[in-house]
Each structure stands twice: as C-alpha cells, then as structure tokens.
Structure 1
Amino acid sequence: MTHGNGTGVTEFFLLGFADQHRFWHVLFIVFLLIYMTSMLGNTGMILLIKADSRLQTPMYFFLQHLAFVDIWYTSAITPKMLQNFVSENKSISFVGCVMQFWVYGTFGTNDCYLLAAMAVDRYVAICKPLHYSIVMSHTVCILLVAGSYVVGSINSSVHAGLMFSLSFCKSHTINHFFCDAAPILAVSCSDIGMNIILLGVFVGFNVIFTMSVVVFSYVYILASILKVHSMAGRKKAFSTCGSHLTAVTIFYGTFFYMYLQPHSNNSQENMKFAAVFSGIVIPMLNPLIYSLRNNEVKEALKALGKKFF
C-alpha cells in the first residue's frame, strides 16, 4: 500500500470474521439465503404495491421506498462479504471502500427518515383522519421521500469526502467485513478529530431528530387510541401501526446496541454482529413484518394468488 495522503492509498484488506474461519462455508450459505430472501421479499413488496390498486395510499408509498432502500442498503455490503468468504483475496480498492461506505451510509440514513415519515403518516391517519387526504397529499409524500434521499446523500458525502484527505500509514487491514466509518478511521494516522466531531454531529442529529418524530407521533397516537371506548376500535387502531412500530423498535434497538455499548475488547466483534443484524437481517425482516402483520398486504397477496393460480 502506498503511504501518504488518502488519494495515494491503493487498497485495504477486510479482516471480516477471521475468528470464524472454520465455519466460513456455513456462514456463506446462511448469509446467501438471507440475502436472497431479502431481495425476493423487498422486490416482491415493490411489485405487489404497484400491482394492487388498494395499496395506492401514502403508507404503502413509503413502504415501497423503504423496500427499495433496503435493497440498496443490504446490497452495499452483503455481496462483498459473500465474496470474501470464498475468495483468498479479501482486498477492496480505496475508492471502492469509500463508495461502499457512501452507499451504505446514504441508504441507512434514508431508512431513518422513511421510518419517521411513516410514523407521521400513522399519526395523521389516526389523530387527524378528516384531514388525512389533505395533509398527506401525493405532493407531500414525494417531498418527504425526496428529502430523505437528499439528506442521506449529503450526510454520506460529507464523511466520504473527508476520507480522501486522510493518511493511512498504520495498517491497511480493516477490522470489519465492510468499510464503515469507525474501522476506517481506526487505521488512519491523520488527525481524525474533525471526522469524529462531524460524524457525531451528523449521526446524532439524524438519529435524535427522526427518533423524536417517531416517539412524539406515537405519544399522540397512544393518547388518541386511549380515548376510544370500544376495545374493537382500539384494536383496529393499533393494528394499523403495529407493523411499523415493530420495524422501528428492531431498527433503533439494533442501532443503540451498536453505538452506545461501553468500549471493551469485545466491542469491535459485537459491532460486527450488530452490523450483520442491522445491514443484512433487518432488510430481510421488514417485508416479512409488513406482510405477516398487515391485513391489507395479506389480502393483496391472496388476490394475486387467485389471479395466477
């Protein structure tokens, strides 16, 4: 590897799950099946929403984009990880490493904002039903989705751009299975103070803002549901946001486990497994959650099945 500034670096080597080398063939098969399920599930969700006129609502508009984002989110890291399981050459070019980080960071941020937009949609549907068609108009939905892509791109572009100014003279081995910010900064011999500050500010703002939107939306939703006297009415109201609440809990629960655990000798290994769950397992779970816990999706699947079979 060429020493000096970031532009002179030719490649990194991804250490991956070096401690699990005896089980690489099992891990390869497991992650391949998860990736294939994720691709089929999310692609199927997109096509199902496009095909069924009953699903042409703001909630499913956001869900369609969530499925699209999850496809890119997991595809940024899974194929390279699968390749490294079966290849002796575990290198990745410097530019490829930065691009992988950019794609992963962009669509990971998109996920946060789409989940927040879906929480707002559920709030308006339950708490302001008479104004739903006005507040959640098609134009508003497009702006919210477009805003998530713009914010995600800006967020990742800032951090990815700063990496080109870093020097890498400590090591060319990244202790991770993909190019995430923390493992890259760990092998730099430059002053990474500004990188860490900006990373904390951007990630902190995105997470706190989107999670605040979700929490406040559900506080109002819960207050509105508690005003409903009939148990059937409450159950119906809860059913409209149960899938989203499940997806949000899994997503943010994994995020906090990754970034808020105390530093220890095992923290890096724990972050790897948390990253597997966040970037590989969750994109597979989302279409399952929304199909198994959503009556409208179930009905659309039944109708599609009757049409073809």
Structure 2
Amino acid sequence: MKEGFVLKSRKADADALSKINRYTRREFGADEVYTFSVVLCDNEIDRDCERFSIDALKELAPLFLGKTGIFNHSMQTQNQTARIYDCAVEQDDTRRTKVGEPYCRLVAQAYLPRCEKNADLILELESGIKKEVSVGCAVGKVTCSICGADLKKNGCTHKKGKSYGGQVCCAVLSEPTDAYEWSFVAVPAQREAGVIKSFSADIADAETILKAIASADGEITLTGGQSRALLKQMESLKSEAECGRQYRRELEKSFVKFAGLSQPDLPAETLRRVAAGMSAEDLKCFESAYRKKAEELLPLTPQLAGAKRKESGGNAEFKI
C-alpha cells in the first residue's frame, strides 16, 4: 500500500507539543493545534503490484518528519495543509502479508493550526470525508520479488501480478532516498495515488536516467539536482552529436571523392546518395578501400613535390 488513511484525532500532550514546536516560529498550546494520526503506507502488495520492504518503511520514517500534507500531489504553497511531527513503523505480529511477512505500517502524527481557514478541513477530517492519502517519495532500488532483478536498470521476464510457483510477482521498493510529501486524494487507486517514481540522487548520466524512465510504470519526477544533471548531460550529448555530424560530412565527401576517382563512370550525385544511406561504419570501410584504390590508379603525391635524388661523389650538395 502506497496509499493510506487518516486515523482518529487526539489532543496534543506535552510530548507532542514539544515535537510540534520544533517546526513552529512560536510556542503553540494544545488548544491552538489540531493533531491526528495517518497511515502513510505499509508492506502489503498494493493495487500496482508493488510493496515496500520492511527496511524501507523504517528508513522512510525519519524522511517524512517535517513533510507537508497537500492535496492531490499538487506542489503549490496554497495546497499545504498539515505537517508531520512524528513518524514510526508499527508491526502487527498477528497479521501476515501475502508474501508471509509480519504486517507493518508507517504511521505519522500530523498537526495543523486551529483557525478559521482550517475549520472546514478539520470538520472534513472529523467526519471522515478527508481520509485517504498517498505518499510521494523516491526509492533507490526496485527489484523483482521472484528473481531479484533490478527493475530500474535491466528488468526481467516476470510479469507483475502473475503467480510463479505459488508466489505472486511484485516490485519490491527499497532503499528510499527522499520523501517529498503526502497527499489527500479522492481515489487512491488511481495513478496519482501511487508512489511518484523518481530516481536516487546519485543518478547523473543520461543513459541511466533513460533506462529508469523506460522501466517505470507510473508517473516520474526528477529532483532539481537530477534535472540539472540531465540537462547537462543533454548539452554534452548535443555537442558530441555535432562533432559526429561534422565527421560524417567529411567522411562522405572523402568517399565521393575517392570513389569517383576509382570509378569515374559513376555520377557524383549517385555516390552522394549512396553515402547518405550508409552507416558510419560501412562508410568508413568503403572510404578506406576506395582511397587505396585511387592511390594505386592515380598517385596522390602533389606534382610539384620535390623528388628525392641520390647523388654520389664530392660536391653533390652544390649541384642543381
């Protein structure tokens, strides 16, 4: 489950207020804040046939501290509603997941100020209208539950949702690198209710990012640093591509020149069309072959180049 739900609200005690006031600019009292618990995610296989590992849930707990609750993953200031001040993993040893693990869920404590602006939201929370949530986070590793293949890089032949030897195939999300936000959503089963697929911070080359994009099933987001890294890679690729195009143009000209010298009955325009349709490897091969043939038929040494003369005897260096 990458989507969760709001639990019962409760009045903030001294410990909760101490944690809340780490995020406020002044000290707030118990009557000034509304607090509630929210299940963010768990280790059960969800509707997308994905699940968090237990270790991933434990690693996500500190990452979600201080993160803002918003609406529908819309990352705009006016959509900020509440903030997480505490987060921990709860384990239920009486319940097992579909893969046989003890059921674990990530439960956060959130707060929002009691004010006129938030009155309607508090009422919706109390009445259960605003209840479903989903999380936005980045994971560094996505593996196949059947064979352990890295699905962010290479993938495998197993299909999510299908059973293999009595075991349901799913993608295991682990090694979280960041937690962006958590959102109130109307229908968690929709695509926006899932984990917003992203990339680990150390991915900086275009090839790896493109492989990750190709293997992703849902939405994809990039951090600012990753976006800049991708743009830098693309600029570098543009420069290299231009060098490659220039090299090919010179290679085509050379091919047409030497092929024309070797086979003068072939029109230059025909040779240019042939060159344009060749791969770079074939073009280089033919250019080299025609160059050798042209040199055999017509020596390419300039006519005015001085020929070496062998002289013997004294004063040879003074002869014209």
**TM-score normalised to the size of structure 2?**
0.23
Q: By percentage of residues, which structure has more helix?
A: 1
User: Which has the greater radius of gyration?
Assistant: 2
Q: By percentage of residues, which structure has more strand?
A: 2
**TM-score normalised to the size of structure 1?**
0.23
Higher relative contact order (CA 8 A, sep 6+): 1
